[in-house]
A = this chain, B = another copy of it.
Amino acid sequence: MMLYSRLSLVCFIVVGTACFSYGQSDNAESLASWNDGQTKSVIVDFVRRVTAKDSPDFVPEGERIAVFDNDGTLWVEQPMYIQLVFALDRVKELAADHPEWKTKQPFKAALEGDFHGIAASGEKGVVELIMATHAGMTNDEFSDIVANWLETTRHPKLNRPYTQCVYQPMLELLKYLSANGFKTIIVSAGGVEFMRVFAERVYGIPPEQTFGSSVKMKYELRNGKPAIIRLPEIDFVNDKANKPVGIQRYIGRRPIMAFGNSDGDFEMIEYVTAGEGPSLGAIVHHTDPVNEYAYDRDSVAGRLVKGLDEAESRRWLLIDMKSDWKQVFP
């Protein structure tokens, strides 16, 4: 009888611990690079609210989807979008085969290092520049080019490989959300196949949860082997009002959390926070000129005007990098 009791006690402890680690703890302590304060509380409270089974705002695990912009939200986008740096390096490498680039914008500006000229070609020009330098090979070949470039180049100011120019607090947030049954998905204006080269290794986000802008592709046999060929034609620019369209296209249901940093993310956050159930929209505000950069309204990359003006009235969370984060990089 006494040993039966001991057995019961063992069972109670085992079961009790299991319940606690599953139902109660939410691993909020893993957000170690976030300062305690209102911002962290809003995130943690939201996660607790949608994961606690007895909560009126409980959301089943399969519906816990959190979408993230990439440039300026998960990694650095200053002094220039990283993929744009890659594209400029590619333009220089490919210029010999494209004499017309010497007179055609935005390629002329790219070859001359004329960033104002590139900017003057507008977002469409920038995307064209990126797409034109990202096509004409198989997708596997492109991935190898990107992987090699990421291994051999470093950020000019931060002096580290670009894959280490990722925000430590956001890495912790991704893990924290995964641990709480969320599926984390990238919805970026950046090129999807560029991001897929490093997203799984760096962010823990697999290719099938990484989406962005894309070129058209075709399938063909090359030397008898099936290959996906990248065509020099834009398929989809996953930015601004296209982000909710991309969400429908690639995910097919409304996420409940959205993290962005620029007005390119405005419609994504607007769409996510217009759902009938609980939702949280958040903007990473770049306010740390010492450890990273400080910019918003006047920046070419990651311009933030509307989001800044309307965050409060829309009850979107503004993440202040300088005051909310203890540490920016890993």
Interface residues in chain A, defined as those with a beta carbon under 8 Å from any beta carbon in chain B: 3-4, 7, 10, 62, 65, 139, 183, 185, 192-193, 196, 200, 206-210, 214, 217-220, 225-226, 228, 235, 241-245, 248-253, 267, 270-271, 274
Contacts and interface: CB of A to CB of B under 8 A. Distances in A.
A263 to B, nearest CB: 14
Given A62-B206, A228-B244, A217 B274 contact: no
22 contacts: A3-B3, A7-B10, A62-B206, A65-B208, A193-B252, A196-B253, A206-B252, A207-B252, A208-B251, A208-B252, A217-B245, A217-B248, A218-B241, A219-B241, A219-B242, A219-B245, A219-B271, A226-B244, A226-B267, A226-B271, A226-B274, A228-B244
A252 B219 contact: no
Contacts of A250: 208, 250
A248 B208 contact: no
Nearest to A139: B248
Given A244-B226, A271-B226, A249 B217 contact: yes
Contacts of A193: 252
A228 B271 CA distance: 9
A253 B137 CA distance: 17
The 8 closest A-B pairs by CB, nearest first: A207-B252, A3-B3, A219-B244, A226-B274, A219-B241, A208-B251, A226-B271, A217-B245
Most buried by B among A196, A248, A270, A274: A248
A65 B206 CA distance: 12
Contacts of A235: 249
Contacts of A245: 217-219, 228
Contact of A214 (B7, B196, B241, B249): B249
Contacts of A249: 214, 217, 235
A56 to B, nearest CB: 23
A193 B192 CA distance: 22
A219 B247 CA distance: 11
A54 B176 CA distance: 31
B65 A251 contact: no
Given A192-B252, A206-B252, A219-B244, 4 more contacts: A217-B248, A219-B242, A219-B271, A226-B271
A141 B29 CA distance: 42
A228 B252 CA distance: 11
Nearest to A225: B274
A249 B226 CA distance: 16
Nearest to A235: B249
A297 to B, nearest CB: 24
A271 B214 CA distance: 20
Nearest to A4: B3
Nearest to A210: B252
